Amino acid sequence: MTANFADRLIWATRLKQTPLIVGLDPRSDRLPIKLRPEDPENLKSLAESFRQFSCEVIDVVAPLVPAVKPQAAFFEMLGPAGMTALAAVVNHARSRGLLVIMDAKRGDIGSTAAAYAKAFLGHDSPWGCDALTINPYLGPDTLDPFVESAKKQGAGLFVLAKTSNSGSSMIQDLIVDGETVYAKVATLIQTLSLQTKGEGDYGCVGAVVGATYPEQLAELRSKMPNAILLIPGLGAQGGTAADVAAGFDDHGLGAVINSSRAIIFAYENSMYAGFANNWQRAVEQATRDTIAQLAAETNARRLLG
């Protein structure tokens, strides 16, 4: 295992034999009943519920997947108590051997970008994350501090390219000089990926491409052959295993597939009604089912022994 993030992520993916990662998006009205605080307006109590829920999800999925992706916003909205809870979740995930991709979509100019990078990237940083999602729409110079920090810390970046939300087309699909904005961003990401390659084919600068746009996913896979793709949108947002198939290379690598709500709130799904009194069993079964779906419908099957 090397210090390069791409190499570490691929190693972990091969070890767990799946590209599935689990998003940690706790929501007060969807927590299992026994984890809901008596007073949901009490931010400290709610933060503790979020911490406990997320850590118990981690305990279930740690043997099954290579990484988790905490969504910072759900913790930030609880103020200082939420940030303390988020730090505990990151530390717990790392203690269970998982890579941690912080979904915070940071992006700014100059020294501010450098400060964000210093805050999040690498195990020696205050947040101790393995990777961070970032926004490129302030321009390529705003990515430089993140890239330099990622290389130095052995960390990774996932740059927004074609996001899974329905409104992404307003900007990302605009045609400029005969090319979409998302394609221009992809060209930049590919350049940065080549510059940050580890021992394998992939660099530590990857891209976020939504499962809800399978045609664009295929296009972007071909434009970024050296970038690992972080693909959200599987499950609750409508993306299917078949939709993400184009994200993989011939070896079943080059992509990690995120599922959040469909897994962490699986106990609400009638499919898992048999686990109504054991929400963690529902999480485990939903994780195993998603792993199986990816293996059945994509090149992820090649990760199996």
Q: At what angle do helices 43-61 and 80-95 cross, to 10 degrees?
A: 10
65 vs 252: CA distance, rounded Å = 15
89 vs 48: CA distance, rounded Å = 11
- Fill in the amino acid letter for 287: T
Distances (CA, A) of 31 to 35, 77, 167, 181: 6, 16, 28, 38
Distances (CA, A) of 241 to 208, 215, 233: 17, 14, 10
Task: Let me know if 152 is a catalytic residue.
Answer: no
Q: 104: helix, coil or strand?
A: strand
Which residue out of 105, 151, 152, 162 is catalytically annotated? 105
The two tokens of residue 11 are: 């190693």
221 vs 35: CA distance, rounded Å = 41
Tally DSSP H helices, then E strands, for the chain: 11, 10
With tokens 């693909």, the residue in question is 231
- Fill in the amino acid letter for 120: F
Provide the annotated active-site residues: 105
